[in-house]
Structure 1
Amino acid sequence: MSLYLVFDIGNTRLKWAAVESTQNIADRNKKLWAYSGSISNQSFQSPELRVELSDYISKTMPKPDAIGFCCVAGDTAIQNLRSLFPQWQDLNWKQLTGDSPYEGLRTLYEDPSQLGADRWAGVIGARALSSTNTLIINAGTATTIDLLGGNGVHYGGWILPGLNLMQESLSSNTAQLPLAVRSSTTAAQASFGMNTNGAMTGGCDAAQMGAILRAAYLAKAMNHPVERIWLDGGNAKILANEIKQFPELAALPVEPIEGLVLRGLWAWLLQNL
């Protein structure tokens, strides 16, 4: 049995997980990740906290047979990652980028090297889970929306500010609007906001949903009507609840799934060992 360690360095957080060769990539059981965790990118910049992370991982799990990673946070973050395990100098490190080939998939991106590695990993993860026309939505710092055809073709996608960025931009760039507060009990809004906070959170949600609806309409016009939506990222559950308010999308399988990028890294790593 082999053990693989995968890292996703995003704009805000570093996420990691370890999987065993006996596990199934398509398994959606929440206990799939035997070892996993995340820290903020700000914490990861600290040498002391990197030592703690390295010590924690190396003492929590056996030495892995290989490490796969993707990064959208810059070269310094990659250097910090690769310095984590000096005691495991012989480890096989594999970096997934936007132009990394994956059997059964191809992208129509004009320059695949400019495709975000996390987006491509999410597409691979979605392909490992299903072979239908799929919208892949990563609702993190940015919200990304990608269309993957059941034929294995990635038709491109969109990048827009995430929910938090939208809300923060209203507060920081206007004179009288406060920072909107979204409580854990905030329900999906099917009407206009009746106070400033509700108007701001509802407006940002509506902007996200407008992009998702537009993507679904465009996919249908391209003869690849959406049959499933995968949602990953910190705001995935919020958008999943919003999607249920729209008859055009509510009938689709809409599933928030944690670690879609990590799952794609895992699938890609297995093809490249």
Structure 2
Amino acid sequence: MSLYLLFDVGNTRLKWAAVESTQNTADRNKKLWAYSGSISSKSFQSAELRAELSDYIAKTLPKPDAIAFACVAGDEVIAHLQSLFPQWSDISWHQLTGDSPYHGMRTLYQDPSKLGADRWAALIGARALSNTNTLIINAGTATTIDLLGGNGVHYGGWILPGLSLMQESLQSNTARLPLVNRHAHLAANTTSTNSVPQTSLGVSTDEAIIGGCDAAQLGAILRAAYLAKEMNHPVERIWLDGGNAAVLANEIKQFPELARLPVEPIEGLVLRGLWAWLLQKI
């Protein structure tokens, strides 16, 4: 039985998982990522923490047969990643990039090499799960929205600041607007008779900022769904990944145009895509 080790290196988090050859890329069982973890990408810059990560993974897992990774954090981080396991120097490393071929899929990106590796991996992961017209949304540091046709064609997508970046930019570039803590605000107003749902207009500065940032994200999702319909590829499913996936999933349910669709937060879509791609490659 073979074991494959996968790394998704993003701007905020470095995630890893190991899967066995007996497992299925279409399996959505929560126990799929039994061997997995994550650390902040910033902490990965520390040689001491890299050594700790290497030691932890090497002691937790049997020696893998192959390692696959997608990285959007730069060449220096890739070098650090590939130096993690000197004791496994005979293992082949496979880097997925935006122009990595995957049988049954193609992108309409003008220059596929410029397509983010994380976006392409997530698209492959979505394809492994279903063959329908799909919006793939990664709600992380940035929010990416991509349309994948049931025919396996990636029709393109959008990149916009994530929820946290939107809120931080308002605080950083204005004189009087605060940095709102979403969770603290919602917790404080859950039992208040004066609390306003985020689908309404805000009646306080905090509500105006939270609601405005949410509306910007949802407006982009709605627009993407309308465009997909105009292109004769009406959206049949929405996959949501990333730290803000649950937030957007709850908001999407408020809109009849989207609430009729299967809308599902799913963890590890990039890792799943890496896995599916690696299986084809080896």
Return the TM-score normalized by structure 2: 0.95
- Which residue matches 1:66? 66
User: For residues 203 and 183 of structure 2, what CA distance do their matches in structure 1 show?
Assistant: 16
User: For residues 77 and 242 of structure 2, what CA distance do their matches in structure 1 show?
Assistant: 20
Q: Tell me the percent identity.
A: 81
- Which residue matches 1:23? 23
Q: 2:225 aligns with which of 211, 216, 237?
A: 216
User: For residues 91 and 116 of structure 2, what CA distance do their matches in structure 1 show?
Assistant: 25
User: For residues 88 and 198 of structure 1, what CA distance do their matches in structure 2 show?
Assistant: 52
**Residue 269 (1) aligns with residue 278 (2):** yes
- Which residue matches 1:146? 146
Q: Deviations over 1:80-122 (max 9, x none)?
A: 0000000100011000000000000000000000000000000
Q: Which amino acid aligns with 1:102?
A: Y
- Which residue matches 1:114? 114
Structure 1 SS opposite 2:42 = helix
Question: How far is 1:29 from its partner?
Answer: 1.1
- Which residue matches 2:44? 44
Q: Structure 1, unaligned stretches of length 5 or more?
A: none
- Which residue matches 2:77? 77
- The within-5 A match list for 1:227-266 is 227-266=236-275
User: For residues 199 and 157 of structure 2, what CA distance do their matches in structure 1 show?
Assistant: 26
Question: How far is 1:189 from its partner?
Answer: 1.2
Structure 2 SS opposite 1:168 = helix
User: For residues 55 and 29 of structure 1, what CA distance do their matches in structure 2 show?
Assistant: 28
Q: Structure 2, unaligned stretches of length 5 or more?
A: 191-196
- Count of equivalent residues: 273
Measured on the aligned residues, the alpha-carbon RMSD in Å equals 1.0
User: For residues 34 and 200 of structure 2, what CA distance do their matches in structure 1 show?
Assistant: 42
- The within-5 A match list for 1:169-180 is 169-180=169-180
Q: Which amino acid aligns with 1:50?
A: R
User: For residues 202 and 37 of structure 2, what CA distance do their matches in structure 1 show?
Assistant: 37
4+ aligned runs moved over 4 Å, structure 1: 184-188
Q: Which amino acid aligns with 1:83?
A: S
Q: Which amino acid aligns with 1:166?
A: M
**Residue 3 (1) aligns with residue 3 (2):** yes
User: For residues 219 and 199 of structure 2, what CA distance do their matches in structure 1 show?
Assistant: 13
User: For residues 93 and 34 of structure 1, what CA distance do their matches in structure 2 show?
Assistant: 22
Structure 1 SS opposite 2:210 = helix
User: For residues 15 and 219 of structure 2, what CA distance do their matches in structure 1 show?
Assistant: 29
Question: How far is 1:194 from its partner?
Answer: 1.4
User: For residues 15 and 190 of structure 1, what CA distance do their matches in structure 2 show?
Assistant: 33
User: For residues 45 and 154 of structure 1, what CA distance do their matches in structure 2 show?
Assistant: 33
User: For residues 207 and 83 of structure 2, what CA distance do their matches in structure 1 show?
Assistant: 45
Structure 2 SS opposite 1:183 = helix
- Which residue matches 1:194? 203
Structure 2 SS opposite 1:212 = helix
- Which residue matches 2:32? 32
Q: Deviations over 1:50-76 (max 9, x none)?
A: 000000000011010000001000000
Structure 1 SS opposite 2:182 = coil
User: For residues 237 and 29 of structure 1, what CA distance do their matches in structure 2 show?
Assistant: 18
Question: How far is 1:180 from its partner?
Answer: 1.0
